Structure 1
Amino acid sequence: MNSSNNKPINDISSFQKPLPKFVQKNLDDNISLIRQQFSNTDDLIIREVHKGSERYAVLYIENIVEIEKLQKFILTINQKSDQSVTEFLAIQANGSSEIGRIEKNLLSGSCIIFIEGCDLFFAQDISNSKERAVTEPENEKTVQGAHDGFIENLSTNLYLLRKRLQSSKLNIKYFPVGEKIKTKVALTYLIDLTNEEIIVEVERRLKNISMEMVLNMSFLEELIEDSSITPFPQILNTERVDRVIGHLNEGRIALFIEGNPTALILPVTFSAFYQSPDDYNSRWLMGTFIRAIRHASFLISILLPAYYIAVIGFHFEVLPDELVSPVGSSIENIPFPPLIEALFMELTIELIREAGIRLPSRIGQTIGIVGGLVIGDAIVQAGLISTTMIVVVALTAISSYSVPSHGMSDAVRLLRFPFMLLASSFGFIGISFGFIVVLAHLCKLESFGTPYFAPFAPFRMKDLKDTFMRLPIWKMNTRPLDPKPKDMIQSFVKRGWKYGQRKKR
């Protein structure tokens, strides 16, 4: 194996020459074309190899390929004495004549082989398989059930999906997204369940994305969601395989992107963000209880600080007689109005949270706990904040972190601030007005044509079985109406043993 000179082209005019559309028969011309495309990179390796009277060249990007795979592949080519290089590669590798496909193959970890006198190139995958193991997502841990999650490799993610959902009805479509740098996006759905109008709409939005490079899943989410002027997420993010399969079985769509472990579920409703796999892995009574607490946390996290401000500033008479004296004594010597107290403490909590995220994991939790205790105690001792406000802010923070979805947690943390301003200005009237506006906004919001606040608006009694409560599995024999599935019936069988025989569908 002989190494050819891999010298960069310094002539700027060479960049302006249009590349031919097809591979040339002359090997040196083909090598020159690739050097023109990758003129300023030193990790493009070009090796010329002779097998008898045949001459061919191997090109690859050294930082993304596995050298052992390459050496084994070249050795196999040279050992086939009964076949020419072209005959062997026609069977073992992917051949093409289009110059435009070479760049994509090189950058995806394949080696490109040109053969003297052949107007085709052959691509063989020798990519480096360095990737992290399949583990449970750190931000979506469960007590019971499966503990596998998606990783940054698209092929592995689709393998996990196929392995768990073994159905010929599972469709996967690929879309290259990005103007200059293409990012591979996979659209997955069950063809016998998913509404065709939703599929067409998602495909239309993906095809009409205009951006040089879609870097991650958050970019894709913002580019295809219905409304960006809202704190509420309209697409569900998850890294759990079982969660994706559950939503696919309801007639929804899942999007995956190369290099990101997150899947996007659409269309979704408000209730989907308060559902957790643990709800289905535990008994239905406990699942209903925990889910009801989560929905109550939505009200607590956005209304509790505002309620405290309204009571202290406008409606002190609503307090029971037993609480008037303790609350009054706690705020008696506080120099600031309730709004300033609340804003100061809420912003302090947000700073501690942000610091805990950015610090190394070994000291992040310690700083969060110790910082909160020390700062809280010091502020109370200094007489800047009342003890009642400390309790209110602590309950609010705990409530906002009980949401299973990170996007919805961010939304409720943001909403509490306008409610605090309304309460400080108009008391309970301001809170009521703000809550009406939020409800109206939720009723108006849509996710790919699906009412966001379904099944509450429009109201549908049958779909309440899996919202703020979770009925037994054998009661969920129909799919929710919001994604408009082709087949509403999930199963005719409830508990066949109880009726003596199975009901035939």
Structure 2
Amino acid sequence: MARRLFKNKKKNQKEQAIHKNNENFSRNLKKDLSENLNDIRTMLDSPNDLVIREFHINEHTCAIVYIDGLSDTTTIEENVLKNLEVIERKDQLAEEENSNLLALIHEELISITGIQNVDTMDELSLSLLSGGSVFLLDGVDRVLLLDTKKWESRSIEEPVSESLIRGPREGFVENLRTNMVMIRRQLRDPNLHFKTHEIGRRSKKKLVVAYISGIIHPDILKEVNRRLEAIDTDDAPESGFIEQWIEDSFLSPFPQIENSERPDKAASALTQGKFAIILDGTPFVLIAPATIGGTFQSPEDYYERWLIGTLLRGLRYLAAFLTMFLPALYIALVSYHQGMIPSQLAFSIAATRQGVPFPAFIEALLMATTMELLREAGARLPKTIGQTIGIVGGLVIGEAAVSAGIVSPVMVIVVALTAVASFTIPQYSVAISFRLIRFGFMLAAAFLGLYGIILAYIMVNIHIVNLKSFGVPYSAPFAPTFFKDWNDLLLRVPVPMLNRRPKYLQPEDNKAGDREGKQV
């Protein structure tokens, strides 16, 4: 009983502290300049990078407040301070009342495009911490928020996670505005819209939903905005947080939202009737709704001729099956179904397995786990060292394991083929999912052989058929079947034949290039 009372008391104190903190931020500004400046210092705990410059325009006392490093000091000096110090306007400024003076400064003297007139400490603090500067005037309970943001950002470079042989070389960066501009450069459509959200109670990051009105289905757009508005977190440092908040099933091993660093891929998805989510501070843009067939598509499929694109796509489907099934098939055939192996191959496998102390399942599990460790180590180390560790480590460990009689040479070949096949899948998150499912198939093969593999495969298909991404079946257009969408699924037909948008997305304007489509 006492413990419960203590917990309730502690909870009430915590809620009161949060409520008091929110009141401090949401209260209105005061008319006295010195009190407002003291409140700003108290709110930020007087940091060393807080710059407060007070000055006078005749008998009027003013102040400019900004955070050094987040704001552009050149813009403040050239477009604000110099304009306010114009000598020929001082007589007119002296005759104005404080409230009229603030409006006059807003409309005529400050030559910055982005200016807001606000009256709360919450709006002031958000602008200040976002890189803006604040103009305060004594005797007025309102301030001007000036858009003077400027901080160091990475230049546009080639995407690291989605490199292509043929295609554009520019990728998204960590700056929200730059990413929006890159999409606008790809799509000069007046129906391209960006809806802004604010994510994070404390971080207050900007998030933008990009879509083309007249193409995207309204229900999909309504659902994504509803899910984004329901996010309740202190901070979202990367778009992966947003993905996990808004995905349909967090228990599924398959990603229900794609991510990409490529503006051309995002623009192409928008023209199909999908939406893109751009979060400030990350180069990875989320694209949805997603389908299992879309995970095998790459922008390079459309930049090469259709025969080459079809061949590459077929290789990816083959690689996906090898990634998931090859170790499991080896376990099942060696442990339970030796009669299904050709005689010469069976004798060869039996000879190589002579002296191996582990059953096929343990042998495959050891090698697959070792390969995953090498892959993860290579990804975390610097590039030059990581590639060396991945190649040399695999060769040395594989050769040493065979020489020691721990695993058979055939097992090394099987695991090597599986690892190479997993690299051909365009999306990293999807490749991880297939690698995870592979262990489940291996376990099923160890217990029931081929029957276990078949049962596990049926379970995976049942899960995929029941999975959805923002109301769109994840298995579409396989099931439900949309045969007209198959021309860009297993095959990649010639570009002139790709004249309709995917029917499973139910776009309002179904025909690509139709200028009579619905516009909003």
Equivalences for residues 378-457 of structure 1 within 5 A: 378-457=400-479
For residues 446-498 of structure 1, give each alpha carbon's deviation from its aligned partner in whole angstroms, at most 9, with x where no partner exists: 101101011110112111011121001111121111221001112479xxxxx
The aligned amino acid for 1:37 is: M
For residues 404-457 of structure 1, give each alpha carbon's deviation from its aligned partner in whole angstroms, at most 9, with x where no partner exists: 111101100100101101101110000000011111111111101101011110
Counterpart selection for 1:371 from 393, 396, 399: 393
Q: TM-score, normalised by structure 1?
A: 0.92
For residues 127-185 of structure 1, give each alpha carbon's deviation from its aligned partner in whole angstroms, at most 9, with x where no partner exists: 23311111121111111121111100000000111121101000110011223332211
Match for residue 221 of structure 2? Answer: 199
The answer to whether residue 106 in structure 2 is matched with residue 89 in structure 1 is: yes
Matched position secondary structure for 1:249: helix
Counterpart selection for 1:175 from 182, 193, 197: 197
Match for residue 470 of structure 1? Answer: 492
Counterpart selection for 2:284 from 259, 262, 277: 262
Match for residue 360 of structure 2? Answer: 338
Cα distance between partner residues in 2 of 1:20 and 1:138: 43
The answer to whether residue 69 in structure 2 is matched with residue 63 in structure 1 is: yes
Alpha-carbon distance, 1:119 to partner: 2.7
Match for residue 129 of structure 1? Answer: 151
The answer to whether residue 54 in structure 2 is matched with residue 48 in structure 1 is: yes
In the alignment, is the contact (CA less than 8 A) between 1:268 and 1:483 conserved in 2? no
Q: TM-score, normalised by structure 2?
A: 0.89
Change (3 A) 1:216 1:53: same
Cα distance between partner residues in 1 of 2:419 and 2:234: 39
For residues 281-323 of structure 1, give each alpha carbon's deviation from its aligned partner in whole angstroms, at most 9, with x where no partner exists: 0000010010011011111101000000001100111111221
Alpha-carbon distance, 1:53 to partner: 2.6
Higher helix share: 2
Alpha-carbon distance, 1:401 to partner: 1.4
Cα distance between partner residues in 1 of 2:21 and 2:479: 59
The aligned amino acid for 1:100 is: D
Equivalences for residues 251-330 of structure 1 within 5 A: 251-330=273-352
Counterpart selection for 1:103 from 125, 147, 151: 125
In the alignment, is the contact (CA less than 8 A) between 2:69 and 2:151 conserved in 1? no
Matched position secondary structure for 1:175: strand
When structure 1 is superposed on structure 2, of 174-183 and 250-259 the one drifting more is 174-183
Cα distance between partner residues in 1 of 2:83 and 2:322: 68
Cα distance between partner residues in 1 of 2:107 and 2:203: 29
The answer to whether residue 33 in structure 2 is matched with residue 27 in structure 1 is: yes
Cα distance between partner residues in 2 of 1:387 and 1:53: 89
Cα distance between partner residues in 2 of 1:276 and 1:435: 25
Q: Which runs of no fewer than 5 residues in structure 1 stay unpaired?
A: 1-13, 494-505
Cα distance between partner residues in 2 of 1:211 and 1:479: 36
Counterpart selection for 1:242 from 245, 248, 264: 264
Cα distance between partner residues in 2 of 1:97 and 1:421: 64
Cα distance between partner residues in 1 of 2:146 and 2:513: 46
Alpha-carbon distance, 1:74 to partner: 4.3
Q: Which runs of no fewer than 5 residues in structure 2 stay unpaired?
A: 1-19, 94-100, 516-520
When structure 1 is superposed on structure 2, of 287-296 and 212-221 the one drifting more is 212-221
Change (3 A) 1:96 1:391: same
Q: Alpha carbon RMSD of aligned pairs, Å?
A: 1.8
Count residues with an aligned counterpart: 480
In the alignment, is the contact (CA less than 8 A) between 1:237 and 1:262 conserved in 2? yes
For residues 253-303 of structure 1, give each alpha carbon's deviation from its aligned partner in whole angstroms, at most 9, with x where no partner exists: 111111011111111111111110110000000100100110111111010
In the alignment, is the contact (CA less than 8 A) between 1:477 and 1:492 conserved in 2? no
